[in-house]
Amino acid sequence: MSNVTAFQMADILFTGAGSLAQSPELISGNGLKKPLIVTDKGIVKVGLAKRLQDILDEAGISYALYDGTVPNPTDDNVGEAYAMYQKEGCDCLIGMGGGSSMDTAKGCGVLATSGGTIDEYRGMGLLKAPLPFYIAVPTTAGTGSESTCAAVITNTKGDHHWKMVLLDGKLLPNAAIIDPQLMVGLPPFITAATGMDAMTHAVEAFISVAASEYTDAMAIGAIKLIFKYLRRAVANGNDIEAREKMAYAQTMAGIAFSNGGLGLVHSMAHPLSAFYNIAHGDANALLLPTIIDFNKLACREKLAEIALASGMTDLGPNPEDAAVEALQRLNDDVNIPSSISDAASRIGAKINEADIAALSKDALNEVSTPTNPRVPSIPEIEALYRKCW
């Protein structure tokens, strides 16, 4: 068995206030002419897209704009973006927004260079060619899509919607611009959900069976930052230090899970989003303490490290329980939904316990399940859904 460890990330990361100004040089400096900006209507409405457009206008760079991305982006979003990419004669991509926009940009890039339909690439290592030159510009501190080799797209064909996870080193951006000024003023509920999404990435990467020294360092560093700064970012959206630290944390967590894998939290969260359109960050966060409690049998020592990273000093005889307690307390402090029912009620979604069997089957077959530290069975997954229901 090989002991060789691969570690991948974007070619270059620009982090810090004002780093959005690097975008023209990334385009013209690489001999490119016209990017497609992939974003959503919310980013356009609050003026964030205009900041990028103004910078490109000033540099004399033409562009096209696709703003049809929806939360839990769909195969239709990918197809629409690619149609615009072709029609406008674009030669590169800028994904600007949360993970939905960045994943839609990745999906557009897959169609541009690998062809076919996006569902053909669900799984690991199936892309035929690298994406067109791709710049990722996150406007939330959560998904880490700017630093990962993953994209998650919802299949809308047929009666049963499900999330397609694409994993391939070719999905890594050529460049990422992580400008905390783009995150200032983000509403508290989005700050909380995306921040806990980053926490879930970091925690699952840290306890993954595929973790390494590289991913451990990134993951525990991100965990410390999130415990220290997420409450501040939620309490005051204009706290630029908290925004910058959370921006670092999400990228570090993204690098960790892109190289070390995830686990059962993500496997169970994806079906909740596909079935009920519950926001990915909320789904991850509300499941996290319960599933970490389930996993503690297999990773007691690492959970003790997470408890220490939270700032706890008196861990008692069961430090793994202290980690679960710290994660639940953070959820409570930033007003994460307390259950699946609570999350659904906040968005007006109807849920049905009769779906648990189908949810559990999807979760078991998710690409993240094999790296979970404890091997789950269908009855155990069903029990975990019921516990969180």
Residue by residue, DSSP assigns 179-226 as -GGGTTT--HHHHHHHHHHHHHHHHHHHH-TT--HHHHHHHHHHHHHH
User: What is the pLDDT tens value at each position of the chain, 389 positions in all?
Assistant: 456 777 887 889 998 889 999 999 999 999 999 999 999 999 999 999 999 999 999 999 999 999 999 988 999 999 999 999 999 999 999 999 988 999 999 999 999 999 999 999 988 889 999 999 999 999 988 878 888 888 989 888 866 567 788 989 899 999 999 999 999 988 999 999 999 999 999 999 999 999 999 999 999 999 999 999 999 999 999 999 999 999 999 999 999 999 999 999 999 999 999 899 899 999 999 999 999 999 999 999 999 999 999 998 877 888 889 999 999 999 999 999 999 999 999 999 999 999 999 999 999 999 899 999 999 999 999 999 999 99
Stretch(es) of the chain classified as CATH 3.40.50.1970: 12-182
Within the chain, how many helices (H) and strands (E) appear?
Answer: 15, 9
Stretch(es) of the chain classified as CATH 1.20.1090.10: 188-388
How do beta strands 133-138 and 175-178 pair?
A: parallel
> What are the phi and psi torsion angles at 35 (to 5°)?
-85, 150
Beta bridge partners of 65: 37
We find that the CATH architecture of domain 12-182 is 3-Layer(aba) Sandwich (3.40)
Are the C-beta atoms of residues 258 and 148 closer than 8 Å to each other?
Answer: yes
86 vs 102: CA distance, rounded Å? 18
B/e letters for 229-252, b = 16+ CB within 10 Å, e = fewer, are bbbbbbeebebeebbbbbbbbbbb
- Reported CATH class of domain 188-388: mainly alpha
